[in-house]
Amino acid sequence: MHGTIDLVQDSVQATAQQAARRHAYATPLDQFDPGDPALFRDDTFWPYFERLRQEEPVHYCRASMFGPYWSVTKYNDIMQVETSHALYSSAAAFGGITIRDAGVKFRRPMFIATDPPHHSAQRKTVAPMFSPNHMDGLSGVIRERTAQVLDSLPRNETFDWVDRVSIELTTQMLATLFDFPWEERRKLTHWSDVATMLPPTPEAELQRQTELQECGEYFGRLFQERLNAPPKGDLLSMMAHSEATRNLDPENFLGNIILLIVGGNDTTRNSMSGGVYALNQFPQQYDKLRANPALIDSMVPEIIRWQTPLAHMRRTATQDTELGGKQIKKGDKVVMWYVSGNRDAEVIERPDDFIIDRVRPNRHLSFGFGIHRCVGLRLAELQLKIVWEEILKRFDRIEVVGEPRRVYSSFVKGYETLPVRIAG
What are the structural domains of the chain?
Answer: 2-422 (1.10.630.10)
Q: What pLDDT, on a 0 to 100 scale, did the predictor assign at position 162? A: 97
Q: Would you say residue 126 has pLDDT above 80?
A: no
Pairing label, strands 333-337, 69-72 = parallel
Confidence bin at 114 (pLDDT 50/70/90): low
Q: What pLDDT, on a 0 to 100 scale, did the predictor assign at position 106? A: 40
Contact 233, 241 (CB under 8 A): no
Contacts for 385 with CB less than 8 Å, ≥ 6 apart: 296, 297, 300
Cα–Cα dist 382/300, whole Å: 9
% of the chain with per-residue pLDDT over 90: 65
Q: How far is CA 35 from CA 62, 88, 98, 266, 412, in A?
A: 12, 19, 11, 19, 12
Report the 10 Å Cβ neighbour count for 57. Answer: 23
Q: What pLDDT, on a 0 to 100 scale, did the predictor assign at position 107? A: 44
The full 3-state SS of 308-371, as one line of letters, equals CCECEEEEEECCCEEECCEEECCCCEEEEEHHHHCCCCCCCCCCCCCCCCCCCCCCCCCCCCHH
Q: Would you say residue 405 has pLDDT above 60?
A: yes
**Each residue of 48-103: pLDDT tens digit?**
999 999 999 999 999 999 999 999 999 999 999 999 988 999 888 888 889 988 65
Cα–Cα dist 288/156, whole Å: 24
- DSSP category for residue 165: I
Residues paired with 421 in a beta bridge? 158, 399
Confidence bin at 120 (pLDDT 50/70/90): low
